[in-house]
Structure 1
Amino acid sequence: MFLAAQIVTGLVVLIHVYIVLLETVLFQTRGRRVFGLSKEKADVVQPAMSNQGCYNGFLVAALVVGFVHPDAATASAFTVFGLCCVAVAGVWGGITVKRTILLIQTLPAVIALALHYAV
């Protein structure tokens, strides 16, 4: 189970690295297409999206610390904290933005948490 938890948590990390890139450095190109925004709308929301990308970067950082911290208890705490934050952010995004966020963001985080606690 530990390996499965690590793999799914790694998937959550990769998803969020991609989200960070979409919301920041790739926003005016790939990000604009993924989010379905016109050039004009993208210009207006770009600062907010960049800020959102920064927050997603913090989620990635917490999960990465969970992978690399030498103390198992501290690593586990970072992993659980990061996954809970991802799940809550995904629920909020699913309610306020787009329901598919629940599948893309929340579901993998909840699966990773379940696997983490099954260990």
Structure 2
Amino acid sequence: MSTAGNVAVGLIAAIHVYILVLEMFLWTTARGRRAFGTEPEFARSTATLAANQGLYNGFLAAGLVWSLLADGTTAFQAKVFFLACVLVAGLYGAATASRRILLVQAVPAAIGLALVLAAH
């Protein structure tokens, strides 16, 4: 697997760990509200939903990390699967929640997926 592809996968995993932290632990803080453009009352009333979203982002990060630790065909298949999941989630989020998600999630996933596929 290419070094560039692995670096991209690692960076995308790190982004999703950061999203997990924002959604699960910082959602109601000034930093979390600033990141997602929410008001204090909205953040308080949606904290449980945000934590659930954060958990899912953590699963994406875990899958990407696993793909970096796996060998051979399993590593390739896991990278493709989890990058595709991130890409679909990013496209859906951009279409339904915020176009910014396209740049934060979908574009990096598309680049990472292209790098992984090109190296195969």
Q: TM-score scaled to structure 1, two decimals?
A: 0.94
Superposed CA RMSD: 1.1
Counterparts of 2:24 and 2:35 in 1: how far apart (Å)? 13
- Paired residues, number: 118
1:84-106 deviation per Cα after TM superposition (whole angstroms, max 9, x unaligned): 00000000000001111111100
Structure 1 regions of 5+ residues with no counterpart?
Answer: none
- Match in the other structure for 1:49: 50
* 1:73-92 alignment, distance < 5 Å: 73-92=73-92
Are 1:5 and 2:13 an aligned pair? no
Percent of counterpart pairs with the same letter?
48
1:7-53 deviation per Cα after TM superposition (whole angstroms, max 9, x unaligned): 11111111111101000011121212211211111111111110000
- Match in the other structure for 1:104: 104
- Match in the other structure for 2:63: 62
Counterparts of 1:59 and 1:86 in 2: how far apart (Å)? 7
Counterparts of 1:64 and 1:5 in 2: how far apart (Å)? 13
Q: TM-score scaled to structure 2, two decimals?
A: 0.93
Structure 2 regions of 5+ residues with no counterpart?
Answer: none
Letter in 2 for 1:59: L
